[in-house]
Structure 1
Amino acid sequence: MTVQLRGCVAAQHFVCSADNPGDQWVTYYDQEGARYSSRIDAETRWMESINLRNGIIDVLEPEAEDHASFSTLMKTGRDDFDFWTRSNSGERLRNIGEDRLTGETTVIDGVPLQLTEFQMRIFSETGDLLIESTGQQFVNADHGRFYGGVEESRDWTGEHRETDDSPVTFAMPGEAGFGSTEPVFDCDMQMVLSRPFSGNAS
């Protein structure tokens, strides 16, 4: 499946026969080419994430206080998570947050989607808060995955960012746009707003 997103990004979704059942990949492309690829499992856990520009690879540590669970979100309307990732540079990060179904639904390019809200905090191994994010995403139970939306984040330097990578079109095999790696939407706009942030992180 090929998905065109806001923010001048195209996404290729695919599966590999050698992976575990339920695993799926996505590779994101901007105007300079492929930039990021990741693999999730059937519960949408972040099994492997690859920055294709700098070679940094993050993998999920098998032990977690509370792994992400797509099935729990679909059944109960909420899923909390608290897990660690480790990069090939040796950095360990703790990811704590929650996803919630809002009860709202929408249809984008013929695909029915449920809206979610999320909040997430990322900590260093020593417990320092590095990034705090909140926002809205979309989920499709049949696809078994999340799609981006409007997000606001703050990092340890005080930088504040607002992004929108909501899906705009979905193309399945045989449909126009399937397989395209050229982003279409918002490519002439600056989608990231950065400004100093003053205040206390909640």
Structure 2
Amino acid sequence: MRKLLILACLLAPAAPALAGAWTAPEGCEVFMTVQSKACRVSQYYRCLADPHGDQWRADFDQEGPYFLSHVDIEGQWIESFDLNPPNRQSLDPNPTDPASFSDLLASGKDSFAFGLTNEDGTSSGVSGFDRLTGKTIVIDGISLSQTEFEYAEIDPMGNVLRRSRGNEYIHPEWRLFFAGPSEWDPGDGNFLPMDGSPVEFIFPGEPGFLKTQPIYDCDAIMSRAPAPQKEHSHDNL
């Protein structure tokens, strides 16, 4: 029931007095809005009913909300919701090698291997790694640590469903991953360049906070009309 309420809130139109602004589900609070490349804006929020350290992200493109993701304090992906077509994908219990933000910070590299199940019962396995490159990147006045990553999602028959590789960014104190320049293979063996890097970090009280219209690269996106970019396993798959 709680998940249905969250999705209902995500899909609900903004109030007329706050046109273009978004309201988090009841019991939750947005702490940051991020405008990114590839015509995406994201609302980051936390909910009182969740375990300590859990965080959510709601993604919007020019047509409205399209993706919702939920991670824990280790950056471990817990569940996600595609809105078109609707689908919930959840982390299987007892992952072989859980993702660990703490291990990445402590040793500079973290591997992961875990299973996923869709609401229709189909399943897949994900494996890969994150590695700190040692580089610090400053975006909109925020210092981020650059990572190198690679992962693959494979179905029970051994078919590759998708792969990705490239760079991302992390904020150690926020315990969040952000997209970066990468390559994406949708399962046909051909890697395509993508870049969903953050451009603006917007906090409560600042202009643009809670806004749902993306503003970067949107003309270019509309001219070629690709599917919305999804970040890799720590945020959503």
Give the TM-score of the pair, scaled to structure 2: 0.79
**Does residue 177 of structure 2 align to residue 146 of structure 1?**
yes
Q: Report deviation, 1:176.
A: 1.2
2: CA distance between counterparts of 1:190 and 1:94?
Answer: 30
| Aligned pairs for 1:39-78 within 5 A | 39-78=70-109
**Does residue 5 of structure 2 align to residue 9 of structure 1?**
no
1:199 alignment counterpart = none
2: CA distance between counterparts of 1:60 and 1:17?
Answer: 21
How many residue pairs get aligned? The number is: 194
Post-superposition CA distance 1:69-96 (Å, at most 9, x none): 0000011000000100111011111000
Give the number of the structure whose residues are more often helix, by fraction: 2
**Does residue 174 of structure 2 align to residue 134 of structure 1?**
no
Contact 2:39/2:221, CA 8 A, preserved across alignment: no
Contact 2:170/2:177, CA 8 A, preserved across alignment: yes
Q: Report deviation, 1:127.
A: 2.1
Q: Report deviation, 1:43.
A: 0.6
Contact 2:40/2:60, CA 8 A, preserved across alignment: yes
Moved more, 172-181 or 183-192: 183-192
| Aligned pairs for 1:44-193 within 5 A | 44-190=75-221
1: CA distance between counterparts of 2:221 and 2:39?
Answer: 9
The structure-2 alpha-carbon separation of the partners of 1:118 and 1:126, relative to structure 1 and needing over 3 Å to count, comes to same
SS at match of 1:132: strand
SS at match of 1:43: coil
Q: Report deviation, 1:153.
A: 1.8
2: CA distance between counterparts of 1:168 and 1:156?
Answer: 29
- Alignment counterpart, residue 68 of structure 2, candidates 5, 12, 37: 37
1:21 alignment counterpart = 52
Contact 1:66/1:80, CA 8 A, preserved across alignment: yes
Moved more, 13-22 or 119-128: 119-128
Post-superposition CA distance 1:98-129 (Å, at most 9, x none): 00000000111111100000000110022222
SS at match of 1:190: helix
RMSD: 1.6
AA of the residue aligned to 2:73: A
Give the number of the structure whose residues are more often strand, by fraction: 1
Post-superposition CA distance 1:139-182 (Å, at most 9, x none): 00111110001120223334432211000000110111111111
1: CA distance between counterparts of 2:130 and 2:199?
Answer: 22
2:4 alignment counterpart = none
Identity over aligned pairs, percent: 39
The structure-2 alpha-carbon separation of the partners of 1:193 and 1:160, relative to structure 1 and needing over 3 Å to count, comes to farther
